[in-house]
Chain A
């Protein structure tokens, strides 16, 4: 076995994988599933992105664990993934139908039935339900930051940058970026104007 050759090939592929893992559809899905308590990720923080089904399905190609959770999510927490019934692909609809009618299930995009069926009875789904319901509660924000946090976070995600990368690129401290996204801090007007300009937005009274 030529170890160096294997490492070289894996590195090339890993670079492609890394590009996919930084796509907004992937980060949105993982951050949302993380927020619901269904998934953990060492480099993507939990967040309330509420992705649509197309995002989740694409993310599942990069991370099959997302597909493992998807049938149970659509059955037990249907509002967790934005979709209309007609948008559900045939193979996924067939899985859901088989589960509803207690029929033997087929593998779903490489995920064996015992893996995705496991989540139907998992107590963790109750926790996800509570977190999902909690979304309706109003969030406390500091008056000074208001909706800037969302604008900055969404803009940053579109640029596929981590908070650290975004801070470095715009000569800000990581703490300021984190706090602004969480609506915790009062940034200077100059900083806000500079950040908004990155996303082509302006500060208006």
Chain B
């Protein structure tokens, strides 16, 4: 099952919950935005270089606890885990996202590859050295290098170790 299908199921769940809430006169769950970053976003983007990922999915979100818990449950059913520290992940200010799924209640996006790689180069270069070398070897857009300069990423250290 793809991430889009999981988010679609989540949207349907929120819709059902809100339908019940209307009948029972309790507060509706608001619309939620999920932004998938990290390795899961790279796999979703079907990048051409080698990507290995642990099964924890990094998702920045503004959702209510119940919705996040349901997402966690849906992911687990597919052998994936929601990283509980997702919201602490740093992404560049300029990060651009691509839509994965858009429903009435849930929208999910994935970060574009170059922005994920800047984040990795800055925050975890050792763990991602091989991944970053592979990525740079694919001739990334100039904006990747410009962001590296802006955020003071030392690409020499990233490449050579």
Contacts and interface: CB of A to CB of B under 8 A. Distances in A.
A133 to B, nearest CB: 16
Interface in B54-88: 54-56, 76, 79-81
B159 A9 contact: yes
A65 to B, nearest CB: 5
Contacts of B137: 7, 10-11, 13-15
A131 to B, nearest CB: 9
Nearest to A16: B133
A40 B81 contact: no
Q: Is the interface of A mostly helix, strand, loop or mixed?
A: helix
A6 interface: yes
- In this complex, the member of A1, A10, A11, A63 whose beta carbon has the largest number of chain B beta carbons within 10 angstroms is A10
A64 to B, nearest CB: 5
Given A40-B55, A64-B126, A14 B134 contact: yes
B81 A124 contact: yes
A66 B160 CA distance: 21
A65 B133 contact: no
B145 interface: yes
Given A6-B155, A42-B50, A64 B127 contact: yes
B148 A39 contact: no
Contacts of A13: 133, 137, 159-160
Contact of B47 (A42, A65, A123, A124): A42
A59 to B, nearest CB: 10
Contacts of B133: 10, 13-14, 17
B142 interface: yes
Contact of A10 (B50, B56, B136): B136
Interface in B114-161: 126-127, 130, 132-134, 136-137, 139, 142, 145, 148-149, 155-156, 159-160
Interface in A50-69: 62-66, 68-69
A17 B79 CA distance: 29
B50 A1 contact: no
In order of increasing CB-CB distance, the 6 nearest A-B pairs are A10-B136, A14-B137, A11-B137, A14-B133, A37-B79, A13-B133
Interface of B: 39, 42-43, 46-47, 49-56, 76, 79-81, 126-127, 130, 132-134, 136-137, 139, 142, 145, 148-149, 155-156, 159-160
Interface of A: 1, 3, 6-7, 9-11, 13-15, 17-18, 21, 30, 37-44, 62-66, 68-69, 110-111, 118, 122-124, 127
Given A1-B148, A3-B142, A10-B159, 20 more contacts: A6-B156, A13-B160, A14-B130, A18-B134, A37-B55, A38-B55, A39-B54, A39-B55, A40-B39, A40-B53, A41-B51, A41-B52, A42-B50, A65-B54, A68-B54, A118-B56, A122-B56, A122-B81, A123-B76, A124-B79
15 contacts: A10-B132, A11-B136, A13-B137, A13-B159, A14-B133, A14-B137, A17-B130, A37-B79, A40-B52, A41-B51, A42-B46, A42-B47, A44-B52, A64-B127, A66-B52
